[in-house]
Amino acid sequence: MRRQVVKLFALFLFAFLISTPGCNVFFGGSRPGVVIISPPSGSEFYEGEEIAVQSEASDSTGITRVELVVDDKIVRTDSPSAADNKTSFLVKQVWRGTPGKHVLLVRAHNAAGAESNPAAVAVTVLPGSAPTATAAPVSVLPTATPISVSPTITPTISTGCSDSAVFVADVTVPDGTPWMPGQAFNKIWRVRNTGCPWVAGYQLVFVSGEAMATTRTLALPETATGATADLMVPMTAPTATGAHNGTWRLRNPNGVLFGTVVTVKINVLGQASAPKTVAPVACSGTPVMSSFTASKTIVTALSTTTLSWGPVTNADWVEINPDIGGVATPGSTTVAVTTTTTFTLLAFCGPSTSTNLQVRVLVPFAVLGSAVSADTTDYSGACPKTVNFSGVITVNDAGPVTYRWESSDGSNSGDATINFSSTGSQTVTSSWVLGAAGKTYTDYWKRLHILSPTDVTSNNATFTLKCN
């Protein structure tokens, strides 16, 4: 029990540090912080659906830009406007999903040219379009007072706006919560209305996985634009041990699904993995493990692998380190990895432990991304003019990176090498002196081309000169 209390406290402290806006856990320099607010990791979407990634970046010197990276490619870059609060920048970046498993990564840059540690979530995009739930509307319990929907009300939708919503928090039952078979619980999601006001006819509907509920369509409480609502669904854990997931969506009165996907993910415990707060399981001596494997033991950076484990006997607690925690057995989980990681399956029987089952997932040294900015974007004045460029290179491990600067006129700087002592980011610079009196240079650019260990090309840092 003491071991679990210490671990829970440490996890709580770490989660508090990384989730507090403006709190940046980085030793040895000033680096911006960034957190992904939504969607939660493990979310499911459908082909062609717009996936809105909402994040918040913070830095005392000011945020200059936030990048959305999908599977190693920058798909969106946003910067605060003159009216925005640059020390805390809340941004929603949209990517249209393609079938498969994807890693969505967000990076923030500050005014000093430093780049944040990346924040990432793994999502799955399912082929085809989302199913339409057909169950009859029933009551919802967003607060202590149930709200019902009358079948005679004619739904209306506000004009001049679009339906949208973002996930805020799991108020109850965070992902991976263990339950005993058949145990009842209330799942509450907190969501924010970022679109039209929710009036009569707006619903929360079950779309895939396991509902774990007797009702699959629930009326939303009336919620103004910008306000949050707590959506509660009474659920019952299945009787089968292992992982169980359910996916729900919001639906407007016209039957159109919109906004973020919300999920419930629980582990139904068997005898081997009953938590220590439950009546003790009869076990003595050393736990017995059967297997622990990974679907892929060599993966590219930011890709995923599936860990699988067999039954564990003579144990009262089973967990996987790092970062996964308590699990039911047998089971499996998909993890996104950025650097070489050794996963360890541990089982406890009272004070006894068995830690001999490990699997190592090798991620070769790779560049996770590169981004370039120019200190001049639109210049009018005397020429020649010097335009300075700053490029940030991010890697997943220690090693050398070979790169060159490329320009829109077809020239390049020649190859250069920078060495990394660990995972993280470093900045390289370049400059360009050009311009003759009376001439205009439109949409000229420089970019970084990473040659090894992986071939990565940054964005084009574009500028225009109007020479007097």
pLDDT band of 67, cuts 50, 70, 90:
very high
How far is Cα 40 from Cα 19, in angstroms, rounded to an integer?
13
pLDDT tens sequence across 221-244: 889 888 888 898 888 888 888 888
What is the structure's pLDDT at 131? 55
pLDDT digits (tens, 9 = 90+) for 278-290: 334 457 778 888 8
Q: Say how far apart CA 314 and CA 448 lie, in whole Å.
A: 56
Q: How does pLDDT run across 119-138, given as a tens digit for each residue? A: 777 788 888 776 553 433 33
pLDDT in tens, 349-358: 776 666 678 8
What whole-number percentage of the chain has pLDDT above 90? 21
**pLDDT of the residue at 282:** 57
Residues 6+ apart with CB under 8 A from 7: none
What is the reported pLDDT for 410?
92
Stronger pLDDT, 201 or 72, i.e. the higher one = 201
Report the mean per-residue pLDDT for the chain. 79
Predicted local confidence at residue 351, as pLDDT? 63
Distances (CA, A) of 213 to 174, 205, 246: 17, 11, 10
List the domains of the chain with CATH numbers: 26-126 (2.60.40.10), 165-268 (2.60.40.10), 271-361 (2.60.40), 367-467 (2.60.40.10)
Distance CA 20, CA 42 (A): 22
CB-based contacts of 388: which residues, under 8 Å, 6+ apart? 374, 375, 376, 429, 430, 431
Task: Tell me if 243 sits within 8 A of 277, measured CB to CB.
Answer: no
Contacts with 468 (C-beta within 8 Å, 6 or more apart), sequence order? 380, 381, 382, 383, 437, 438
Q: Which pTM value belongs to this model?
A: 0.39
Residue type, 311: P
How high is the pLDDT of residue 347?
84
Residue with tokens 């599977």, as numbered in its chain: 71
Q: Per the structure block, which two tokens stand in for 353?
A: 């432990």
Instruction: Give yes or no for residue 465 having a pLDDT over 90.
Output: yes
Which residues are bridge partners to 404 per DSSP? 449
Distance CA 356, CA 294 (A): 15
pLDDT at 431: 94
**Cis amide prior to 453 (ω within 30 degrees):** yes
pLDDT at 337 (0 to 100) = 79
Residue 259, pLDDT above cutoff 50: yes
**Contacts for 139 with CB less than 8 Å, ≥ 6 apart:** 146, 147, 148, 149, 215, 218, 219
Q: Report residue 14's pLDDT band, with 50, 70 and 90 as the boundaries.
A: very low
pLDDT in tens, 402-450: 999 999 999 998 999 999 988 888 999 999 999 998 999 999 999 999 9
Among the ranges given (166-180, 260-274, 320-334), the one the predictor scored with the smallest mean pLDDT: 260-274
Could you tell me the strand order of the sheet in which 73-78 lies? 44-46, 119-126, 100-110, 63-70, 73-78
pLDDT of residue 141: 37
- Are 241 and 271 in contact, with CB atoms under 8 Å apart? no
20-48: average pLDDT: 63
pLDDT at 8: 41
pLDDT score, position 275:
43
